Amino acid sequence: MGARKDRTALVTGGGSGIGKAVVLALAREGARVAVADLEVGSSGEAVYSGTKGAVIAFTKALAREVARHGIRVNAVAPGPTDTPLLHRLRQGHEGLFEAMVRATPMRRLAQPEEVAEAVVFLASPRAGFITGQVLSVSGGLTMC
């Protein structure tokens, strides 16, 4: 503990699943963690895709604006992850779920802790020259 002492992290969706794993990982390293957890439903893929695209554009634009001040801005884009939400969505859609796992080159779901470790890395001094990037933690499902 101590690598994140005197640092503050804002984690969205920190109440469960991936967000909770990120909160716990950062807290173990000594960070003060502010959690923003808003569960809102979306009306379809267009809204979901648009908001994710906006987060990526915002990440890149903000990173460029604040880099000269020593501030790094990155995003993590998790693929299918073994969370309670995914298990709720799986009910009644077993075939779709199995197809999603088969479509993932690593043939499994991510664990929330695996996504959390990517966030911890990007927040660490080891990633000191990384900014404006979107790290896909998807088992190869999305490759750029």
Give the number of other Cβ atoms within 10 Å of residue 50's Cβ: 11
Q: b/e for 60-89, b at 16 or more Cβ within 10 A?
A: beebeeeeeeeebbbbbbbbbbebeeeeee
In the residue annotation, 78 being an active-site residue is answered as no
In DSSP terms, 134 is beta-bridged to 75
Which of 34, 36, 37, 48 is labelled catalytic? Answer: 48
List the alpha helices (DSSP H) in the chain: 17-28, 45-66, 84-90, 94-103, 112-122
- Angle 32-11-67 from CA coordinates, rounded to 5°: 85
Instruction: Tell me 83's DSSP state.
Output: -
Instruction: Tell me 82's DSSP state.
Output: -
Catalytic residues: 48
